[in-house]
Structure 1
Amino acid sequence: MAFITAGALTACVSSAFAASAPIVGNWRTSSGETAKIAPCGNAYCTTIMTGQHKGKRIGQMSGSGASYTGRITDPSNGKTYEGSAQVSGNSMKLTGCALKIFCKSQTWTRK
């Protein structure tokens, strides 16, 4: 019985954690696809939900509040970059860097 209670408590805490994180939700990418960011373990995973790359998991970030860091993969070429995300209301600026000097940014909007 204690195991079930602990599991239920963990589920409630995870749900509250997900609901409070500004990064969680559906986002329109700069190329027009929909990306879903959801909790996965102790991080947040990004999966493309529409378009040519539908179903591909392209990123995993950790953080809280408005700042997140992690890795993101360009689904068109499969290259993975160190990245960061800054959430501001319904806008999120993603920056990915190769060798920490060659960086590109995109802005996604919340759907």
Structure 2
Amino acid sequence: MRYRISAALAALALGLASGAAADPAEGMWKTQPDDGAYAHVRLGPCGAAVCGVIERTFNAGGEYASPNIGKTLVIDMMPQGDGSYEGRVWRPSNDKIYIGKMELSGDSLALKGCIAGGLICSKQTWQRLP
């Protein structure tokens, strides 16, 4: 009996040491085109929040080396527990940061960037990449 309890505690400790489960929004996402260009953004942990960094950029001519590669587009999105997130988003085309919201639904991610306390928003829907 003592052996089973010790084995169970050891398994629990290993599970805790391996870290928490990944947030369901983590992964690579394709943005909608904005001013003729789109990006592949990797969402991942940044503390207790989720952040997104531009990894690749594309325009009508194909992939190109944008100066925005490596910049954070999704900033400190805190999960709200129901598939929604609140934080900030950066829009490269005008270099402004907005109040941000995300809503995850399967392989689709609806993002909003808002001003005026959320009264005026611009929306995009991103698709998860394999």
| TM-score of the superposed pair, with normalisation by structure 2 | 0.70
Amino acid at match of 2:126: W
Give TM-score, length-normalised by structure 1: 0.81
Larger Rg: 2
Task: In structure 1, list runs of 5 or more residues that go unmatched.
Answer: 1-7
> Given that residues 22 and 65 in structure 1 are in contact (C-alpha distance below 8 angstroms), is that contact kept between their aligned partners in structure 2?
no
- Aligned-pair identity in percent equals 37
Number of equivalences: 100
Please name the residue that 2:71 is paired with: 56
Q: Write the mapping of 1:43-82 to structure 2, written as runs, cut at 5 A.
A: 43-51=49-57, 52=66, 53-60=68-75, 61-63=77-79, 64-82=81-99
**Is there any run of 5+ residues in structure 2 with no aligned partner, and where?**
1-13, 58-65
Letter in 2 for 1:106: Q
1:6-85 aligned within 5 A: 12-14=18-20, 16=21, 18=22, 21-31=23-33, 32-51=38-57, 52=66, 53-60=68-75, 61-63=77-79, 64-85=81-102
Structure 1 stretches of 4+ with a deviation exceeding 3 A read 8-11
Q: In angstroms, what is the RMSD of aligned CA positions?
A: 1.7
CA drift of 1:78 comes to 1.4
Matched with 1:5 is none
